[in-house]
Amino acid sequence: MRPWLMRITDFGMLTYWAMTVLVAGSIIDIPAEWLFKDYHDRRVVAWNWSFMPLDIVFAATGLWSLRLERMGDPRWKIWTVISLTLTVCAGLMAISYWIIVQDFDPSWWIPNLFLIIWPLPYLWNFANSERQVV
pLDDT digits over 39-86, tens only?
Answer: 888 999 999 999 999 999 999 999 999 999 999 999 999 999 999 999
- How many CA atoms within 13 Å lie on the side-chain side of 52? 12
pLDDT at position 132 is 60
pLDDT band at 131 (very low <50, low <70, confident <90, very high): low
pLDDT at position 32 is 80
pLDDT band at 1 (very low <50, low <70, confident <90, very high): low
CB proximity list for 9: less than 8 A, separation 6 or greater: 59, 62, 87, 114, 115, 118
pLDDT at position 133 is 57
Nearest to 126 by CA among 84, 93, 66: 84
Averaged pLDDT for residues 9-35: 92
User: Do 30 and 23 contact (CB within 8 A), yes or no?
Assistant: yes
Tally: H helices and E strands in the chain: 6, 0
pLDDT at position 129 is 83
pTM score: 0.90
Distance of alpha carbon 92 from the chain centroid: 10
